[in-house]
């Protein structure tokens, strides 16, 4: 459903992605893991054409997000890592703006929006200005915006960051439901326990490359995900040295 083929991206001297070939099939929740700066957000942004590869191919449901970003955005629901929302629009105004952009019929839009508002407990906040919302409520607006057009591919960059435990649980259930419906769900996180609890498949990035990919249980074997992560990223001994400074 979402495919990267030999994708590379540099920012000046920095190699953000180094020949990434990876496929995220539907019907599963995929965790995208990797140390800071390993290329996760760069990869996710490419799915809707926000970042252009220097070389290689990205395809989402057969669509090239670079040549056809509008079509790609109809298929993908993307929620960015950085919380950037319109400070002078209310969430209600922003969602109806998206309904217009995505050509969602009014009745469908009303039903979908009210379901999302209920699920994310946003009833009391829909009329506030974006700039007045708390951190977690801003995150919820981003996630609701990613889901409002009922996308087949859901890409959430650190979506749990800032969510309270109850809403985090709601989001986990939403992700599971979407995967069970045959959609592709990808999320990034640094919380490996969370990845273990939620994901079916794991992709581990390191320095712009995919260093491990497979079903969660198969990958980690008898170890816990943290030990496996440190091992495949070659960070086990580095960590031991770091901890000597304690
Ligand atoms: N717009 C940009 N300009 C310059 N360098 C960038 C830009 N975006 C990303 N990079 C660099 O590309 C590399 C990959 O960054 P990316 O944001 O994809 O990593 P990440 O895995 O999402 O990290 P994190 O876990 O910290 O979110 C980093 O070295 C980063 O500094
Ligand atoms: Mg990132």
CA–centroid distance, residue 196 to ligand 2 (Å): 19
Atom of ligand 1 nearest to the CA of 35: 25
> What is the atom index within ligand 1 of the atom nearest the CA of 190?
25
User: 37 C-alpha to center of ligand 2: Å?
Assistant: 7
* Prediction pTM value: 0.96
Pocket residues: Cβ below 6 A from ligand 1 = 11, 14, 16, 34, 36-42, 81
CATH class of 2-243: alpha beta
Please tell me the distance between residue 43's alpha carbon and the centre of ligand 1 in angstroms: 10
Question: Closest Cα to residue 166, out of 225, 201, 118, 226?
Answer: 118
Nearest ligand for residue 34 CA: 1
Residue 42 Cα to ligand 1 midpoint, Å, equals 6
Specify the residue with its C-alpha closest to ligand 1, atom 4: 11
Where along the chain do its domains lie? 2-243
Atom 24, ligand 1: which residue's CA is nearest?
A: 36
CB 104 within 8 A of CB 113: no
Q: What is the full DSSP assignment across 156-194?
A: EESTTTT--HHHHHHHHHHHHHHHHTT-EEEEE-S-HHH
Q: In what order do the strands lie in the sheet with 2-11?
A: 14-24, 2-11, 55-60
pLDDT tens string, the chain, 246 residues long: the values are 899 999 999 999 999 999 999 999 999 999 999 999 999 999 999 999 999 999 999 999 999 999 999 999 999 999 999 998 999 999 999 999 999 999 999 999 999 999 999 999 999 999 999 999 999 999 999 999 999 999 999 999 999 999 999 999 999 999 999 999 999 999 999 999 999 999 999 999 999 999 999 999 888 876 889 989 998 998 888 888 888 888
Residues 89 and 71: their CA atoms lie apart, in Å, by 25
**Residue 11, number of CB atoms within 10 A of its CB:** 10
Query: What is the 8-class DSSP label of residue 39?
Result: S
Protein residue with least CA distance to atom 16, ligand 1: 39
């Amino acid at each position: 459903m979402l495919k990267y083929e030999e994708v590379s991206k540099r920012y000046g001297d920095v190699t953000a992605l180094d020949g990434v070939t990876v496929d995220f099939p539907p019907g599963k929740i995929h965790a995208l893991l990797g140390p800071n700066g390993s290329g996760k957000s760069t990869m996710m942004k490419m799915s809707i054409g926000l970042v252009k590869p220097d070389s290689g191919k990205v395809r989402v449901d057969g669509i090239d997000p670079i040549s056809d970003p509008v079509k790609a955005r109809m298929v993908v629901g993307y929620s960015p890592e950085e919380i950037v929302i319109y400070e002078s629009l209310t969430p209600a105004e922003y969602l109806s703006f998206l309904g217009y952009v995505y050509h969602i019929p009014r009745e469908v839009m009303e039903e979908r929006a009210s379901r999302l508002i209920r699920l994310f407990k946003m009833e009391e906040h829909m009329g506030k200005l974006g700039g007045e919302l708390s951190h977690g409520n801003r995150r919820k607006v981003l996630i609701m915006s990613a889901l409002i057009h009922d996308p087949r591919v859901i890409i959430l960059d650190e979506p749990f960051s800032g969510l309270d435990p109850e809403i985090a649980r709601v989001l986990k259930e939403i992700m599971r439901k979407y995967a069970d419906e045959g959609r592709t769900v990808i999320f990034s996180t640094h919380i490996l326990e969370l990845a273990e609890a939620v994901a079916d498949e794991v992709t581990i990035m390191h320095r712009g490359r995919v260093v491990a990919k497979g079903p969660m249980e198969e990958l980690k074997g008898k170890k816990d995900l943290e030990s496996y992560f440190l091992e495949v990223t070659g960070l086990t001994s580095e960590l031991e040295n770091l901890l000597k400074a304690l």
